[in-house]
Amino acid sequence: MGNYFPIVSASSTVERRRSRRRPGGTSVTSTELHLPGGTWPLGDLSVMRFGYGAMQLAGPGVLGPPADRDGALEVLRSAVASGITHIDTAEAYGPRVVNELIREALHPYPDDLVIATKVGGRRDAQGGWPSARRPDEIRQQVEDNLQTLGVDTLDLVHLRLGDAAGPVPERIGEAFETLVDLQQQGVVRHLGVSNATAEQVAEAQSIAPIVSVQNMYNLAVRHDDPLVDRLAAEGVAYIPFFPLGGFSPLQSDALSAVARRLGSTPMSVALAWLLHRSPNILLIPGTSSVAHLHQNIAGAALELSRDDLAELDTIAGPLR
């Protein structure tokens, strides 16, 4: 697992930003297509629960441009054409590369498209993901995201916490308060936290409302089970990163057995399980392939029985 933080750019204030909304207030929606899982509210916005994580569109190590640039643009366009209204990104992916691909593929953005990004870190010369959470660094990263995505307001910004090994118990106040300040200025619409402990989620909520938490979670990694349930009761979205295992695809005998029984694939079962797990879970599986994108959309619609769910529950083991 990596420490996925945006780079701090030396660029100055953007002189002219393009709005994500079309002039004249024309409503341009992606589609009214049905996607598995239905919708979930993110504050005053609404997204399809089946979304798309764009990190895989950068080059190897999430650095530099993709080998197949046209293919990457096609994945983004296919996602929106399929009805996806939630794309997850970060200035750190590339860095800049993924945000710029999103802009090239999709700007001017459909009115119903929510682009969620992250701040709290940067990339170093070795491709590492050091944290960058001083107020000036947070402000610069928000500015960089605005510029590369070509928008006046960021729909949703997650404060990415912790380090490469996972969440770290530390106070988040100053960094989060900086984002709240930017929200009050109107450049950030909604706030979330990522790679956070339950205590950090609560600390953020004591400062300002959040609409989402983005943490590592999948069939095999379920430390956040109580947090998922608490957030569901509060109407806050839980957005699992690495839903398919990330850089190490999920592998488990029980998963393979359920997939075989249903004539499906482990990837499809893993996504369908997340949609069954809780209504506040939003999917952002990553792929650099249009074929995989379509497989994942179809696969997530899989119906799982009580027996299937019980068998899948054994994967994470008693120590969650």
Distance CA 213, CA 83 (A): 23
Contact assessment for residue 117 and residue 151, using Cβ atoms and an 8 Å cutoff: no
Distance CA 241, CA 53 (A): 8
The residue from 40, 217, 238, 242 that contacts ligand NAP (CB under 6 A) is 242
Amino acid letter, 20: R
Residues 154-192 as b or e (16 or more Cβ within 10 Å = b): bbbbbbbbbbeebbeeeebeebbebbeebbeeebbbbbb
The residue from 267, 269, 312, 315 that contacts ligand NAP (CB under 6 A) is 267
Looking up tokens 């709005």 gives: 19
Q: Does 55 bind ligand NAP (CB under 6 A)?
A: yes
Comparing CB distances to ligand NAP, the nearer of 15 and 151 is 151
Phi and psi at residue 189, in whole multiples of 5°?
Answer: -90, -50
Question: Can you list the positions of beta strands (E) in 35-126?
Answer: 39-42, 45-48, 52-53, 86-88, 114-119
Stretch of 24-32, 139-147, 197-205, 244-252 contacting ligand NAP, by CB under 6 A: 244-252
CB of 204 to ligand NAP, least distance (A): 15
Nearest residue to the partner ligand NAP, using Cβ = 286
Contact assessment for residue 239 and residue 275, using Cβ atoms and an 8 Å cutoff: no
Q: Which residues pair with 239 in a beta bridge?
A: 214
Distance CA 97, CA 237 (A): 27
Looking up tokens 């004539």 gives: 263
> For residue 113, how many C-alpha atoms fall within 13 Å in the half-sphere facing its CB?
31
Stretch of 26-34, 136-144, 289-297, 308-316 contacting ligand NAP, by CB under 6 A: 289-297
Q: Does 194 bind ligand NAP (CB under 6 A)?
A: yes
Stretch of 146-154, 174-182, 283-291, 305-313 contacting ligand NAP, by CB under 6 A: 283-291
The residue from 39, 256, 264, 295 that contacts ligand NAP (CB under 6 A) is 295
Q: Does 4 bind ligand NAP (CB under 6 A)?
A: yes
The residue from 91, 114, 246, 258 that contacts ligand NAP (CB under 6 A) is 246
Annotated catalytic residue 93: yes
Question: Which H helix or E strand runs over 156?
Answer: strand 154-160
CB of 23 to ligand NAP, least distance (A): 30
Q: Does 286 bind ligand NAP (CB under 6 A)?
A: yes
Q: Does 244 bind ligand NAP (CB under 6 A)?
A: yes
CB of 287 to ligand NAP, least distance (A): 3
Catalytic residue among 52, 93, 109, 238: 93
The residue from 50, 109, 241, 273 that contacts ligand NAP (CB under 6 A) is 241
The residue from 99, 140, 147, 214 that contacts ligand NAP (CB under 6 A) is 214
Distance CA 287, CA 66 (A): 12
* CB contact set of 52 (below 8 Å; sequence gap of 6+): 76, 79, 84, 86, 87, 88, 284, 285, 286, 287, 293
Stretch of 107-115, 146-154, 227-235, 292-300 contacting ligand NAP, by CB under 6 A: 292-300
- Which positions from 15 through 54 interact with ligand NAP, judged by CB under 6 A? 53-54
The residue from 145, 195, 200, 252 that contacts ligand NAP (CB under 6 A) is 195
Q: Could you list the residues that contact ligand NAP (CB under 6 A)?
A: 4, 53-56, 88, 118, 160, 194-195, 214, 241-246, 249, 267, 284-289, 292, 295-296
Residues annotated as part of the active site = 93
